Amino acid sequence: MDALTIHEAAETTGWTPRMLRYIERIGLIEPARSGSGYRMYGPGELQRLRTLRELLAEHDLGLGDVAFALRMRQDGAMQGDVDSWLEAEPRRPETVTAEDWLRWEQEKHARILEAVNANPKMETTA
């Protein structure tokens, strides 16, 4: 018995049932369904719902922001186009080769890793 219905999940995560449906609709957390269509929230979903609230509060984000980040991650072409556009701004070599770009990205990772390590309370334990 480790899956909760939508009202129970709302209770323990601090969201409202209404918002849990909304969060599902924008693609962030899609719980399994029972045979008759009831949403069943398992421990993983409950944890994600809680960390989602922390994430939003911590950086003053909206659900739409996170949904957009998800869309970026799922659409590699879009991610590439947006990243290309953004990276064209700072003063950098006039023509960027794919190798330049990959190196730049990997340096970015080092920076992010640093940020993650400096902030261990968000250890990604699914």
Binding footprint of DNA on the chain (CB under 7 A): 5-8, 16-19, 21-22, 26, 34-39, 62-65, 67
How would you class 63 by CB atoms within 10 Å of its CB: exposed for 0-12, middle for 13-18, buried for 19 or more?
middle
In the complex with its own copies, which residue's Cβ is closer, 36 or 106? 106
The minimum distance between CB 9 and DNA, in angstroms, equals: 8
Q: How far apart are CA 59 and CA 72, in angstroms?
A: 19
DSSP string for 35-92: TTS-EEB-HHHHHHHHHHHHHHHHHT--HHHHHHHHHHHH-HHHHHHHHHHHHTSSS-
Contact 29, 23 (CB under 8 A): yes
In the complex with its own copies, which residue's Cβ is closer, 1 or 59? 59
In the complex with DNA, which residue's Cβ is closer, 16 or 47? 16
Which of DNA, its own copies, none has residue 69 at its interface (CB below 5 to 8 Å by kind)? its own copies
In the complex with DNA, which residue's Cβ is closer, 22 or 92? 22
Strand-pair partners of 41: 4
Residues forming contacts to its own copies in the complex (CB under 8 A) are: 48, 51-52, 55, 58-59, 61, 65-66, 68-70, 72-73, 75-89, 92, 94-96, 98, 101-102, 105-106, 108-109, 111-119, 122, 124-126
